[in-house]
Structure 1
Amino acid sequence: MRVGYLNGKLNRKLRIVFVTAAVAFLGLFQIAAADSYKLNPGDEVEISVWNEENLQKTISVLPDGMISFPLVGHLQAAGKTASEIEATIAAKLDAYIADPEVNVTVTSTRGNVVFVVGKVLKPGPIVMIQSTTVMQALAMAGGLNEFASANSIKIIRRSGLEEGAKETVLKIRYSDLEKGNDLSSNHILNYGDVIVVP
């Protein structure tokens, strides 16, 4: 009886340790994912400087990828992570504040958008709240309509935000993806990609 009681107690402790470890790992994974996210035009960040009430702002990333912050001026935000922006702002504020402690939090990723056009049931912009593939985006667009040319789908991808940025075309063979024969064209989408379904 005593052995059974001790085993039950030990099992409960092991379960608690396992659950705690799993929650900690998930938290670290989410932190790592958030820290690696690169901002896009239309995203929103909250910037605060510790102990400086006048240096707290919620800012949207402008279409040209820039943001503006007091004492810092304009700086490039698109294509950078929150921690990179923290470091840039802290370096610029160092001339005015001793050891500034800057915190940048991404509060909205609504700028992380791709577009699906052509013969799908729900064409238009799709906000990516996580890493998204072509097949996932097409599913979010309601799938292909009956007149779509399934094996002529393409992604138009720009190399950057600047005017004259190079555009490349990636071809998609939908029938291969649908059958699971060849998944090599199930590309992970980038901000600004346009999926064209003729």
Structure 2
Amino acid sequence: MAHAIARLAVLALVLGALLTACFEPDHSLIPPAQPVEVTSGLTAGDIFEVRVFGEEDIGGSFQVQEDGTIDFPLIGRVDVTAKTQGELAALLEEELGQGYLRDPHVTVILTERENLEVSVLGQVQRPGTFPYAEKLTLVQAISTAGGLNELAHARRVKLTRKGPTGAGTYEVSVKAITDGREQDILLQPGDIIFVPLAPI
């Protein structure tokens, strides 16, 4: 008897998983996010992080000022206008290597790009438009908007994205991501996330 009950319990779990899969959207249909290259160069308002290998006190977070410069430790004012992340890293290595550090290794990571944004709308605590950051994911963006509210339909979130053939809207199950059944989705600038009302 106990054996039969156990078999029924397993069958119920399998059926439950299948039903859940049937009612959740296919994330593989979403075109992958296009990598963001700062090919146009840095502009006023951009925020980036500088890491100097083995020198934790020298790096940090910097914002490009209106005149296109930053104030960098040891060096002073540095003009970063129109420089890519790689070009700025090379410039800082060159400047730091002139009497300050021996063979410095610098990494520049863009964390907030002026005029690059994503929108999170619908059933979230603080709907709106937010600055895009490198490697921003869908769940992180929803978290930035305060998270889902009690009326949100977590299994039918809509992601609108521009792809090579134009804009398309795709359904995403945030529940599947937070449960660990699906991977989080990398975003790209211009993405719009809409969280609908859950059915009554």
**What interval of TM-score do these two structures reach, taking the shorter chain for normalisation?**
0.3 to 0.5
Higher helix share: 1
TM-score under structure 1 length normalisation: 0.44
